């Protein structure tokens, strides 16, 4: 693994940790009613998607080993470019369902 690859993986791991911290003991209702929480969560997902984009440029084989990587990058693009159409319950679902899987996989890679 290239040294730069580790940097992007650490960035992803850090964003996952922040997402877990931000959302621990929170509910969907908490998320829907707290604008700052929503902004913080979206920002961390943007970081994850961009780190994967950059990592793909230098180590596409490594990125290919990450489950659902194309969906993760597409999710980042929707958050940035399709911000007006974001369904908040979908974002919360990703936090609850997909984030633990990504966190575990990135931990194994590191």
Domain extents in the chain? 3-109
Q: Count the residues in the chain.
A: 110
Q: Which residue has the tokens 């964003």?
A: 15
DSSP SS3 for 63: helix
Distance of CA 14 to the CA centre of its chain: 10
**What is the Cα Rg of the chain in Å?**
14
pTM for the model stands at: 0.94
pLDDT in tens, the chain (110 residues): 677 999 999 999 999 999 999 999 999 999 999 999 999 999 999 999 999 999 999 999 999 999 999 999 999 999 999 988 999 999 999 999 999 999 999 999 99
Residue 57's pLDDT is 95
Q: Which residues are catalytic?
A: 76, 81
Predicted confidence at residue 1, as pLDDT, reads 65
């Amino acid at each position: 693994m290239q040294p730069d690859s580790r940097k992007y993986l650490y960035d992803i791991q850090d964003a996952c940790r922040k997402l877990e911290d931000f959302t621990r003991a929170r509910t969907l209702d908490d998320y829907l009613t707290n604008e700052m929480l929503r902004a913080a969560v979206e920002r961390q997902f943007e970081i994850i998607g961009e780190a994967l984009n950059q990592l793909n440029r230098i180590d596409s084989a490594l990125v290919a080993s990450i489950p659902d990587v194309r969906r993760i990058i597409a999710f980042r693009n929707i958050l940035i470019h399709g911000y007006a159409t974001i369904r908040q319950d979908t974002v919360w679902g990703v936090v609850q369902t997909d984030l633990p899987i990504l966190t575990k996989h990135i931990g194994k890679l590191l």
